[in-house]
Structure 1
Amino acid sequence: MLDVEKDTDRESHRRALAVEGVLLLLIDGLAARGTISADEAEDMLRILSKSSDFSAARASSSLRIVEQLRRLRGGDGMATPGA
C-alpha cells in the first residue's frame, strides 16, 4: 500500500512541476508578445514563486525576462504593445 501511495505522490509531484513549467512558459510568452503587461506577468510569477523555494528558483529567470521587457518598454510596466 505504501508503494502505491509513494507512486501516486511522485506522479502528482511530476505533474505539478509540469503544470508549473507550462505556466512559466505561457506567462513569458504572453509578456513577450505584449498580450499581458510586465506588471501582470510579475504579479503571476510572484504568486508562483511563493509556493516553494524550488518554484522561486524556477520563476527567477522569468522574473528577469519580465524586468528586461519592462526596460525595453521604457520602464512602463503597464504597457501591452501587442494587445
Structure 2
Amino acid sequence: MAFEDSVVFVGTTLSQGIVCALLSILSPGVSWEYRAFGVQLSGIFLVGAAFGIWEHHKKFGWSVPRVEEPNQQEVTGDELC
C-alpha cells in the first residue's frame, strides 16, 4: 500500500467512526437498540483505524517519504511532453 493510500484509509475510517458515534449518540427519537448498534459500528471503524495507523507506522514510521523532484535547470522542453 502506498503512503497516500495508507493516509486516506486511516482518515476515512477515523471519520466514519466519529460520524457513526455522533449520529448514534446525538440522534433524538432513536431506540436504544439502534444507538447500541451505532456505537458498536463506530467501535469497529475506530479499531480499523487503529489497525491502519499501526500498519502505516510499521511501514513508513512517522516521517513523510521524500520525493526527489527534478532540477528545474535541467528540464528541457522535450521532457515536458
- TM-score range, shorter-chain basis? 0.3 to 0.5
Q: Larger Cα Rg: Structure 1 or Structure 2?
A: 2
Please state which structure has a larger fraction of its residues in helix.
Answer: 1
TM-score calculated relative to the size of structure 2: 0.42
